[in-house]
Amino acid sequence: MQSGSIYVPRDEKFTGASPQNLYVTFWYAGRKSRLWTRGVIGVAGFAGGSLLAARFGWSDTLLPGVVVGALAALADFLVAWRSFARTAVWRGSRRGEVRTGRLLRRALTRHGYRVMDGRAVPGEASIDHLVIGPGGVWIVDNEAWSPDTYIARYGERLFFDEKFGTSVAKGLIDAASTLAALLARETGIDVAIVPVLAAHSGKIEGRGGTVTAEGLTVAYPHRVARWIRSQPNGSLTEEQVEVLARTAARILRGTALRRR
C-alpha cells in the first residue's frame, strides 16, 4: 500500500513537496490571517493611544492614537517578517556562509581580528570561516535547520530536537584540533581553537541566543561575533595574529563556499 492514510484523501498540490516549499506555501496562505491580526493590533493601539492622550488632558487625542496604532502595526509586521527572513538560508534563497562572513568582518575587523573564508583543513572537513584575533582562534561553520527545530543543552549533551548533537560537534572539534596542531607546528605558537556553529533558523534554547555543550557552541549568526569577543580563549599579540593569519593563508587550501 502506498504511504499515507487511507482515511485522509491526498492533496495533490502537496505531493512530493519539500518542507521548504510547504513552509513558503503555508506562509503566503496565512497572509490574510496576519493582516487581520495586524489590523486588530493597530486598532487596539489607536484606542490605547487615544485613551492615554485623554488621560493626560491633551487637546488632540486623534494624532497620538494614530501614531501608537501605526507603531503597533509596524512592530507586528517586523516581527512576522523577521520570522520569515530567518528561514532564508534553510529555504535556499540565501547563503549562510556569505551572511555569517559579512557579519563577522563587520563586527570583528575593527578590533584587530582576521576573518578567512572557505578553508580546507588537511584530513578534515572544510570550514566556512577561520577567525584569528587578540582573543584567540576560532573556526565557524554554518548549518540550517527547519524553523521548529529546538537546539538545546540537557545535562552535558547537545540536542537538535530529539537527536544527539555528538556527530555535529565531533566533526568541528576534530577540525579545530587538527588545525591547532598544524598552526603550532608551523609557527611555534601554541593556540587552542574553539569551534562555533552558526545556526540559521531553528530555535536555540539558550541565554542570549547561544548554547554550549559537548565542546561546541551553537549561536545565531548575529550573535557569533559578540560571543567570540566575550569568550577569549587565549591572548595573542598583534604580531602573533599576523603570523598565524599568514601561515593559515599559506597552508590551508581555499575552497568554494558551500551553498546552504
- Classify 154 as helix, strand or coil: strand
Distances from the Cα of 191 to the Cαs of 143, 177, 196, in angstroms?
26, 10, 16
Answer whether 0.75 is exceeded by the pTM: yes
Q: Are 41 and 73 in contact (CB under 8 A)?
A: yes
What CA dihedral angle connects 229, 233, 237 and 239, to 10 degrees? -100
What CA dihedral angle connects 14, 17, 23 and 26, to 10 degrees? -20
pLDDT at 70: 92
CA-based torsion, 12, 17, 19, 20: positive or negative? negative
Question: Where residue 13 falls among pLDDT bands split at 50, 70, 90?
Answer: very low
CA-based torsion, 254, 126, 160, 174: positive or negative? negative
Q: Which residues contact 16 (CB under 8 A, 6 or more apart)?
A: none
Tell me the pLDDT tens digit for each residue of 178-191. 999 999 999 999 99
Question: Where residue 65 falls among pLDDT bands split at 50, 70, 90?
Answer: confident
Q: Is the pLDDT of residue 138 over 50?
A: yes
Q: Are 199 and 128 in contact (CB under 8 A)?
A: no
Question: Where residue 255 falls among pLDDT bands split at 50, 70, 90?
Answer: low
Q: Are 209 and 220 in contact (CB under 8 A)?
A: yes
Q: Is the pLDDT of residue 129 over 70?
A: yes
pLDDT at 227: 93
